[in-house]
């Protein structure tokens, strides 16, 4: 099955956007640690991935592969997948700087060119569960995970998506029940699901729901993603939802 | 649950729920919440025939009566408000639908471990009891693979509800981080309620040995009108955002 038109438009967007993105956000993302989302919440505090040493790990929407590089340092065997060739050029540059080698795969997560049951952990930090169709990606993840494997992914919370208005304010600008409509228009667009929608999609693909961590910036935290969510908002309401599910 | 809630529900029963109980008991269809969305559309409940069911915070126990009519083997309604249990007892007599009624708070139920296949709560313990206690009680009462199904206000409607108990706004009124216990100051709703974020619900259910099966976020049906008594949310609001949600969970074997 070919990948969706929307995923192709998103690929073009990331190819165009990649250099500017890496220039603006690179400084925040270069931290030599495993950190989630706009506020760099430490994986050590969240525990979404569990033990990583010796594990086969697939990063969906790896961008410049900073997560995967740090995972390799910790003894994991990572594979970085991204739909954007330009993003993967940044990843190759960082791998060379780190003196590392692991596979980088240019593909949409809607069609993962990797064998069945080949990973212990699949994860995404605002990656392919946002920029590709989750109704296609989640079955693909179920296919490449081993039994008992973990899927962890960070996405914008439904509340942030409803309150978004060049950043976020306290008004509900859009209906909850329209959030999971397929993206429209001819530009880049993100996919959104309600909380109940995620639970049903994961369950239908053989996953148990293990945790939903509502990410909150630590006191005084800063971010380079200032047009995404403001500190005061994110201290009161969870702007990011980190789901953890396990293949049964 | 607190004594304050018993006072609230004693008054509410005299004003409202007692006189409506008979009609509710005699209703044939199961429906959910203030918008009366039909169970046959939502499919939130497992097959109850032959099952042992406990209803936590049963009020006048119409929901338990519906499950008994669907073939449940045994239905026990648990509620801390004597006035509502008197109403329920009167209906057991007049309808011949045999429910057992137990006066107790949802946080501390005087029934044995592993004695039920299904625990339900529809605007019962699900909002009026402390979830950190009643979820543990539900887990204790259920047999392995028993199901827990409960309806509560959505987390979102609580975030949008002013302290004075007036109808939910289209603007956030309170933070989500740290939410747990609420004392409303409204004329009708002046009890103590408990509400958690979705992440906290998932964590709590998992910690008590439950597998999460579903979260059904309810949209008011087309043409719905604002409830005359339960006016904490307008129909217009509830068409755009979920005012109620049903959690389904199963106790792990």
Q: Say how many domains are in chain B.
A: 1
How many CB atoms are located within 10 Å of the residue A200 CB?
A: 16
CA distance B18 to B86: 9
SS3 content of chain B, % helix, strand, coil (to 5): 35, 25, 40
Q: Tokens for A80?
A: 């970085």
Average pLDDT (A137-155) is: 98
- Using CA atoms, how far residue B154 sits from A214, B163, B201, B202, B216, in Å, is 16, 16, 12, 14, 10
Q: Tokens for A186?
A: 């001819």
Q: What φ, ψ does residue A105 adopt, rounded to 5°?
A: -120, 125
CA distance A89 to A64: 8
Residues B59, B18 contacting (CB under 8 angstroms): no
Query: For the residues of chain A, what is the DSSP string, one character each?
Result: -PPPHHHHHHHHHHHHHHHHHHHHHHHHH--SS-EETTTTEEHHHH-SS---TT-EEEEES-TT-HHHHHHHHTT-EEEEEES-HHHHHHHHHHHHHHT----EEE--TTS--S-TT-EEEEEEESSHHHHS-HHHHHHHHHHHEEEEEEEEEEEE-HHHHHHBSSSB-SB--S-GGGTTSPP-SSS-------HHHHHHHHHHTTEEEEEEEEE-PPTT---S-TTT--HHHHHHS--EEEEEEEE-
Is the Cβ pair B241, A171 closer than 8 Å? no
Is the Cβ pair A214, B176 closer than 8 Å? yes
Cβ neighbors of B125 (< 8 A, separation 6 or more) are B1, B56, B57, B78, B106, B107, B134, B150
Q: Return the axis-axis angle of helices B3-12 and B82-95, rounded to nearest 10°.
A: 50
CA distance B106 to B125: 6
- Judging contacts by C-beta atoms under 8 Å, the chain B residues touching residue A192 are none
Q: Model confidence over A71-107: pLDDT tens digits? A: 999 999 999 999 999 999 999 999 999 999 999 999 9
Average pLDDT (A156-165) is: 97
Cite the beta strand spans of B154-243 per DSSP E. Answer: 181-183, 192-194, 210-218
Given a cut of 90, is residue A31 above it in pLDDT?
Answer: no
Q: What is the pLDDT along chain B (253 residues), one digit of tens a residue?
A: 578 999 999 999 999 999 999 999 999 999 999 999 999 999 999 999 999 999 999 999 999 999 999 999 999 999 999 999 999 999 999 999 999 999 999 999 999 999 999 999 999 999 999 999 999 999 999 999 999 999 999 999 999 999 888 999 999 999 999 999 999 887 666 789 999 999 999 999 999 999 999 999 999 999 999 999 999 999 999 999 999 999 999 999 9
The domain in which residue B26 lies consists of 3-251
Q: Model confidence over A123-132: pLDDT tens digits? A: 999 999 999 9
Chains A and B: how many Cβ contacts under 8 Å? Answer: 82
In this predicted structure, what is the pLDDT of residue A66?
Answer: 97
Cite the beta strand spans of B60-184 per DSSP E. Answer: 74-79, 100-103, 116-122, 142-153, 181-183
- Judging contacts by C-beta atoms under 8 Å, the chain A residues touching residue B245 are 196
Interface test with B, best of A157, A196, A197 (most B CBs within 10 A): A196
In this predicted structure, what is the pLDDT of residue B187?
Answer: 64
How many CB atoms are located within 10 Å of the residue B187 CB?
A: 9
Residue identified by tokens 């609420």 is B182
In this predicted structure, what is the pLDDT of residue B140?
Answer: 98
Interface test with A, best of B160, B168, B172, B242 (most A CBs within 10 A): B172
CA distance A89 to A103: 13
Average pLDDT (A127-144) is: 97
Residue identified by tokens 């005061």 is A232
Nearest CA in chain B to A159: B156
| Among A209, A235, A237, beta carbon nearest to B212 | A209
Helix (H) or strand (E) holding B206: helix B198-207
Query: How distant is the Cα of A218 from the closest Cα of chain B, in angstroms?
Result: 13
A166 pLDDT band, cuts 50/70/90, is confident
Is the Cβ pair B176, A175 closer than 8 Å? no
CA distance B224 to B206: 35
Q: Tokens for B48?
A: 């109850």
Nearest CA in chain A to B175: A236
Q: Which fold has domain A5-247?
A: Rossmann fold (3.40.50)
Query: How distant is the Cα of A31 from the closest Cα of chain B, in angstroms?
Result: 27
Residues A189, A132 contacting (CB under 8 angstroms): no
Given a cut of 90, is residue A41 above it in pLDDT?
Answer: yes
**Which of these ranges, A53-57, A100-104, A212-216, B2-6, has the smallest mean pLDDT?**
B2-6
In this predicted structure, what is the pLDDT of residue A185?
Answer: 85
Q: Average model confidence (pLDDT) for chain A?
A: 96
In this predicted structure, what is the pLDDT of residue A82?
Answer: 98
Q: Are strands B192-194 and B210-218 parallel, antiparallel or unpaired?
A: unpaired
Check which CATH number belongs to the domain holding B228 and give it: 3.40.50.150
Nearest CA in chain B to A201: B214
Nearest CA in chain B to A212: B199
Q: CA nearest A194: which of B101, B11, B155, B171?
A: B155
- Judging contacts by C-beta atoms under 8 Å, the chain A residues touching residue B156 are 159, 176
- The C-alpha angle with vertex B128 and arms to B20 and B9, in degrees rounded to 5, equals 40
Cβ neighbors of B110 (< 8 A, separation 6 or more) are B102, B104
Residue identified by tokens 């971010």 is A223
Q: Tokens for B232?
A: 């904490």
In this predicted structure, what is the pLDDT of residue B109?
Answer: 98
In this predicted structure, what is the pLDDT of residue B189?
Answer: 64
Is the Cβ pair B171, A171 closer than 8 Å? yes
Helix (H) or strand (E) holding B55: strand B52-56
Q: CA nearest B128: which of B158, B107, B149, B99?
A: B107
Cβ neighbors of B67 (< 8 A, separation 6 or more) are B30, B45, B48, B53, B55, B75, B118, B120
In this predicted structure, what is the pLDDT of residue A2?
Answer: 80
Domain boundaries, chain A: 5-247
pLDDT over 70, % of chain A:
100
In this predicted structure, what is the pLDDT of residue A30?
Answer: 87
Is the Cβ pair A195, B212 closer than 8 Å? no
In this predicted structure, what is the pLDDT of residue B192?
Answer: 94
């Amino acid at each position: 099955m070919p990948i969706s038109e929307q995923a192709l438009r998103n690929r073009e967007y990331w190819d165009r956007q990649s250099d500017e993105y890496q220039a603006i956000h690179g400084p925040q993302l270069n931290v030599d640690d495993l950190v989630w989302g706009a506020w760099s919440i430490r994986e050590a505090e969240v525990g979404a991935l569990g033990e990583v040493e010796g594990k086969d790990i697939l990063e969906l929407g790896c961008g410049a592969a900073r997560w995967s590089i740090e995972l390799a340092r910790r003894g994991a065997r990572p594979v970085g997948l991204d739909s954007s060739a330009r993003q993967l050029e940044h990843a190759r540059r960082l791998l060379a700087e780190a003196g590392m080698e692991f596979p980088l795969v240019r593909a949409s997560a809607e069609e993962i060119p990797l064998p069945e049951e080949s990973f212990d952990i699949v994860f995404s930090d605002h990656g392919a569960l946002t920029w590709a169709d989750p109704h296609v990606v989640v079955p693909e993840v179920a296919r490449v995970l081993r039994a008992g494997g973990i899927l962890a992914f960070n996405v914008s919370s439904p509340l942030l998506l409803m309150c978004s208005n060049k950043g976020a304010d306290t008004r509900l600008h859009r209906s909850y029940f329209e959030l999971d409509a397929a993206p429209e228009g001819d530009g880049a667009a993100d996919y959104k699901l309600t909380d109940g929608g995620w639970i049903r999609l994961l369950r239908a693909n053989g996953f148990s729901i293990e945790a939903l961590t509502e990410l909150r910036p630590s006191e005084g935290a800063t971010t380079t993603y200032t047009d995404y969510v403001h500190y005061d908002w994110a201290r009161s309401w969870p702007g990011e939802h980190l789901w953890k599910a396990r293949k049964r | 649950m607190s004594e304050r809630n018993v006072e609230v529900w004693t008054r509410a029963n005299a004003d409202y729920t007692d006189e409506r109980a008979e009609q509710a008991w005699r209703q044939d269809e199961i429906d959910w919440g203030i918008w009366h969305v039909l169970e046959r559309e939502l499919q939130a409940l497992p097959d109850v025939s032959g099952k042992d069911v406990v209803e936590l915070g049963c009020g006048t126990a119409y929901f338990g009566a519906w499950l008994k009519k669907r073939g449940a083997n045994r239905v026990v309604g648990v509620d801390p408000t004597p006035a509502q249990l008197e109403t329920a007892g009167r209906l057991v007599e007049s309808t011949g639908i045999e429910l057992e009624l137990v006066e107790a708070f949802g946080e501390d139920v005087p029934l044995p471990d592993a004695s039920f296949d299904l625990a339900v709560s529809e605007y019962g313990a699900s909002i009026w009891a402390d979830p950190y206690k009643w979820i543990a009680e539900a887990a204790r009462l259920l047999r392995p693979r028993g199901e827990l199904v409960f309806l509560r206000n959505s987390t979102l409607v609580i975030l949008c509800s002013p302290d004075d108990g007036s109808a939910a706004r289209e603007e956030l009124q309170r933070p989500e981080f740290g939410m747990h216990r609420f004392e409303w100051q409204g004329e009708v709703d002046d009890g103590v309620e408990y509400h958690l974020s979705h992440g906290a619900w998932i964590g709590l259910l998992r910690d008590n040995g439950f597998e999460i099966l579903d979260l059904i976020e309810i949209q008011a049906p087309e043409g719905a009108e604002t409830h005359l008594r339960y006016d904490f949310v307008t129909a217009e609001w509830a068409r755009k955002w979920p005012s109620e949600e049903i959690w389904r969970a199963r106790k792990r074997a």
